[in-house]
Amino acid sequence: MRSRQTFQQLIATNKRNSFILIFGMFLLLFAIGAVFGGTYGSYEAGLVIAGITAIVVFLFAWFAGSGTLMAISGAHEIQKADDPQLFNVVEEMAIAAGVPTPKIYVIQTDALNAFATGVDPAHAAVAITDGLRHKLNREELQGVIAHEIGHIRNFDIRYTMLMAVTAGAIVLLADVFLRSSLYTAGSRRRSSNKNDGAGQAILLIVGILLAILAPLITALIQMAMSRQREYLADASAVEFTRNPDGLANALALLGSDQTPYKASRAVAPLYIVNPELKLRSGKESMFATHPPITERIKRLRELAGA
């Protein structure tokens, strides 16, 4: 009973932290919009532009669907007849999570990895590599699939898309603002009202600094949120399997895997272990999209001990 309380508390904490990070992203987006609009004399117009930008990018991302990410990854969909045992594991974990069975894709590489994508549990997909399928035993494979099903059940797939969309809108607004700032600065210098010109100049400087720093702040928030969701999915995997050792052993194998695998930057943060940033030293970087594998294994071992 103590074990159940432990991972449920971890899930609750990570959900709270993720909502805080999402809220911070939206604040940053509308702050840029307000400063952008204020520079041109209308804060309200800037907020409207920020909102419209976010909606347009969001609709594009929503309707592009998971198929785009699968195509970028070189994944191909398989049917139950192609691998009955794999489908059995996926179906088993989907039932434990209370979600529809996702589509299953396979990526032809000997590297060990997996990821999930989609907009909601009813329209989700899981992709695993050939290496993962054939080098893990059933218990370890179950742990990895449970982790990915956890992302689906917890709506991480939607959170990830929402964060990516907001980040894209922030970067877009920041870029437009920086490109227009030179023209704006010249116009302000020609202003006949010195007081108004001075105030606008200060606002312009603040806007330029914010536009320069916004992409970096956005990246840090995205990475912090991604780390939170990985911990949450690990805890969810324990909930579904009642076996922390399965995922812990799988992560140990994934962390030690040296097979070269170059993933698209658009997809790399979605993997259970980022192909570009495998952290084996146990030292967490602020720029890492995933927690250190050693820390994740440590937490799982603690759950097993509890």
Chain centre distance of CA 290: 9
User: Which residues are within 8 A (CB) of 125 and not within 5 positions of it... i.e. 6 or more apart?
Assistant: 66, 70, 77, 102, 103, 104, 105, 116, 117, 118
Question: Mean pLDDT over residues 112-124, rounded?
Answer: 91
The pLDDT score that the predictor gives to residue 276 is 67
SS3 track for 128-173:
EEHHHHHHCCHHHHHHHHHHHHHHHHCCHHHHHHHHHHHHHHHHHH
Contact 119, 58 (CB under 8 A): no
**What was the pLDDT predicted at 114?**
95
**CA 182 – CA 271 distance, rounded (Å):** 41
Catalytically annotated residue among 148, 230, 239, 302: 148
Angle at 115 between CA 62 and CA 168, to 5 degrees: 40
**Minimal CA–CA distance to 177: which of 80, 17, 67, 37?**
37
What are the helix and strand counts (H, E) for the chain? 9, 4
- Measured distance CA(7)–CA(256) in Å, rounded: 26
What pLDDT score was predicted for residue 186? 53
The predicted model scores a pTM of: 0.73
140 is annotated as an active-site residue: no
Q: What value does the mean pLDDT take over residues 95-101?
A: 96
Task: Dump the DSSP string for 226-290.
Answer: HHHHHHHHHHHHHHHHS-HHHHHHHHHHHHH--------TTTGGGSSS-TT----SSPPPTT-SS
Q: Confidence band (pLDDT; 50, 70, 90) for 279?
A: very low
Is a pLDDT exceeding 50 seen at residue 284? Answer: no
How many structural domains are present in the chain? 1
From the centroid of its chain, how far is CA 243?
Answer: 25
Higher per-residue pLDDT: 116 or 285: 116
For 198-221, what is each residue's pLDDT tens digit?
666 676 676 677 777 777 776 776
Tell me the pLDDT band of 282, cut-offs 50, 70 and 90: very low
Q: What angle do CA 227, 291, 297 make, to 5 degrees?
A: 125
Query: Does the pLDDT value for residue 72 go beyond 70?
Result: yes
Q: For the ranges 129-133, 182-186, 262-266, which has the lowest average pLDDT?
A: 182-186
Domain membership of residue 205 as a residue range? 2-305
At residue 128, what are phi and psi to the nearest 5 degrees? -130, 155
More reliable by pLDDT, 4 or 98:
98
